[in-house]
Amino acid sequence: MKKSDRAGGVQPAKWLLKLYVAGQTPRSLQAFANLKRICEEHLAGEYEIEVVDLLKNPQLAEGDQILALPTVVRKLPEPVRKIIGDLSNIERALIGLDLRSRPPKADHERVKTG
């Protein structure tokens, strides 16, 4: 999904996400559905999802050092981030994609300075 600018050209998406899968397995389909829902709810159309099927193109796993499937790689915005799994834990996925900050630690877990 790309957003058009006023001059009629194509402006790159602000968020570029690659979803690495191995075929059309239930886990792969669930990962795509969860990623799409997260993007629609939190990125307001400012994203592009590229699905990479490693059964068809296994050589593409090397570039992003994919070790487990499904894996989402956030290419943009930098820094690159990876999340392994079907993204069914939405809160964990939001933190992993850096869409939501980690919850603050309880007072007894905070490091005190000074």
pTM, to two decimals: 0.77
Predicted confidence band at 109 (pLDDT cuts at 50, 70, 90)? very low
Please report, rounded to a whole number, the percentage of residues in the chain having pLDDT higher than 70. 76
Average pLDDT of the residues of the chain: 83
| H helical segments located in the chain | 26-42, 90-96
The band of 107, judged by pLDDT with boundaries at 50, 70 and 90, is very low
Domain boundaries, the chain: 12-101
Q: 12-101 adopts what CATH topology?
A: Glutaredoxin (3.40.30)
pLDDT digits (tens, 9 = 90+) for 33-58: 999 999 999 998 899 999 999 999 99
Average pLDDT for residues 11-37, to the nearest whole number? 92
Paired residues of 72 in beta bridges:
19, 83
Q: Give the torsion sign (CA, 101, 102, 103, 106).
A: negative
pLDDT at 30 over 50: yes
pLDDT at position 4: 36
**Nearest to residue 16, comparing CAs of 69, 90, 78?**
78
